[in-house]
Structure 1
Amino acid sequence: ITSLIQLSSEPTVDSRLKCALPSRKAFKLLREIDDPDMPWLGFLFGQTPSSIWYWCADQMMVQRTLAAKSLSHAQGATLMTGIIKQFPLFIIVIPGMISRVLYPNEIGCFPGSDCLAVCGHRNGCSNMAYPKLVVDLMPSGLRGLMLTVMIAALISDLTSIFNSASTLFTVDVYQKWRSSAQNTELMIVGR
């Protein structure tokens, strides 16, 4: 809400603007074939296989699905995940767009020399967008809560990665090396 109030009270184009404004095609998902940023062919054959791999073949995702109590639980969880995956639009994309409008000189810098002066990276300052928005617009109590949420998400991701790595090692390496291992031994090695 604070960011929306801020957006409505400040003009988006004024004399303080030094860096580039977003191009007119910034909101267009499928662009021309010769677009230097994201041609439709690259989006179609780059993003689609990547998403299919992540959701259908990534060890963490597959392991979570296979650990379901029954087929109906796995199907229900998959459908629920599809619904929940709509929320990152509001959590990730919209704050980035708001940050791009509120801080055009820091977040929207282009070319690389401007970005190097602002944030120390030649490829852009988009990594500063969310933290800058949190630090500048959120009250201090919510800043702490946001930090806690981000650390919890990081820990959750790491535990999933460690669990998957443990499973892969136990099943693909240890079990091949010691084929006579019982389930109890495999569970101990996996932990």
Structure 2
Amino acid sequence: MKMTEVLGLAVDEISIWPVVPFRPHPDGDAIDKEAVAWAVRHDLCAPDSTNARSRIAGTLADCMPFGSRDKVLAYACYGMWAILWDDYLDTLAADPVEAGLHIAEVLWAADRPVVAAVRDDRWLNGVREVRRLWEGCMDQADMERLVAGHTEWFAGQLSKAMLMRRPARPTVEEVLRMRIAKSGLGSVVTITTVAGGYRLTAEE
């Protein structure tokens, strides 16, 4: 049985019209190229890799069509870093101690990039460079909100890594809390409003 029959409709297809039509960022393609070049320069991916060709950064830019170019580019570089980091973190699944330590190092690198790091690798260097990009186009209040969103995301990363290894089954509440944080929604909401010129409080 077709869904249209279940709904009692006599049509075979239903057109869905969005309230706000899709509108790509005017510099989306250029931002994608710049962010990919940035990721390649920091050895986060190869220039001919699937990630480099996937238009991750351009898609992020298109999600913020009214955002200022410099702020959207800064976040597109962060988006490239974040997606590639998330894949890298999976390679540490067999070593929870190393995963936890690396998560802590990345948190420090984003929050206090001038503090000497225990280790020197491409992921820490990449997030330090992201922080410098943010500092170049955002004020202190916006920076603090972005770092807070980043921290919330990493709390979700750490929670997932530990829940997977805990002998006891996680509760529904633990899973939901972890998934919401791990989705990175906090940083996405922050940059979308910041780049578009809107000011929202954490509560809003």
TM-score range, shorter chain: under 0.3
- Structure exhibiting the larger radius of gyration computed from Cα positions: 1
TM-score (norm 2): 0.26
TM-score, length of structure 1 as denominator length: 0.28
